[in-house]
Amino acid sequence: MSTQGIAAFADAASAYESWFQTPLGSYVDRLERAALERLLEGTPAVQVVEIGAGTGHVVIWLEALGHRVTAVEPSAAMRAQGIARGRDIVARWVDARAEQLPFATGSFDGAIMFTALEFVAEPVRAIEQALRVIQPDGWLCVGYLNALSSWAAAYRRYGERGKQPWAGARFFVREDLEQMVGRTADRSESAVRLSPAATAPFAAADAAGERAGNAAAMEVLLWRLIR
């Protein structure tokens, strides 16, 4: 993440978690967590690094599943929120950028990036670093906002208007991620087919979006490494 990008999150940190308290945000959060849980099903409790941990939204959930988490977050404002929210868990927080992780090769059993790659200045370098710090038989999980979805379109519009942190964001499709990693993902899940302008009942709106063939807003990929 660039210095400019880190500064953008300083402005967004205080409002970041509040979105998840809205009816739509809460519903989307449940769908995304369910997709992530399906993807990680059967993964034993391990040493995990979350790269771009933000306010600890996923960190707290991973710890509840029994994982031992190291949370990497370069924004002091976001990191402070995460530490405060997760004071009852044992996660270790580290001030570092995705492109330069301060860990020895093979330090972790798994690595996760969840809606973080969108804000990284050098995404290829970030993926290389994530792969480096995973043990040879470990796993990498990347959750990203699908560039073809209506949600990505809305966030692009926010960025065009200068709204942070979207002004510097970039969006990906599955092929982009698989090219960065160097091979096809072993498993995938997707979620959130309702429009960002949807109103309650959200389950009905999501079902209608699926019937209409809407691109999923959230896609999660998992690679199991054999090196």
Confidence of residue 5 (pLDDT cuts 50, 70, 90): low
Lowest mean pLDDT among 120-129, 199-208, 217-226: 217-226
Long-range contacts, stretch 179-187, CB < 8 angstroms, 24+ apart? 180/123, 180/124, 180/127, 181/127, 181/131, 181/140, 181/223, 183/223, 185/221, 185/222, 185/223, 186/222, 186/223, 186/224, 187/39, 187/221, 187/222
User: CA-based angle 85:56:25, to the nearest 5?
Assistant: 95
pLDDT digits (tens, 9 = 90+) for 88-106: 777 899 999 999 999 999 9
Q: What is the mean pLDDT of residues 148-177?
A: 94
Cα separation, 167 vs 156, whole angstroms: 8
- Better pLDDT: 83 or 7: 83
pLDDT of residue 2: 47
Return the pLDDT at 13.
67
Model pLDDT, residue 191: 98
Show me where the domains of the chain are located.
Answer: 3-145+172-190+218-224
Q: Pick the closest to residue 98 from 113, 82, 83, 110 (CA basis).
A: 113
CATH superfamily of this structure's domain 3-145+172-190+218-224: Vaccinia Virus protein VP39 (3.40.50.150)
Predicted pLDDT of residue 179:
97
Q: What is the mean pLDDT of residues 135-143?
A: 95
Mean pLDDT of the chain: 91
Predicted confidence at residue 65, as pLDDT, reads 87
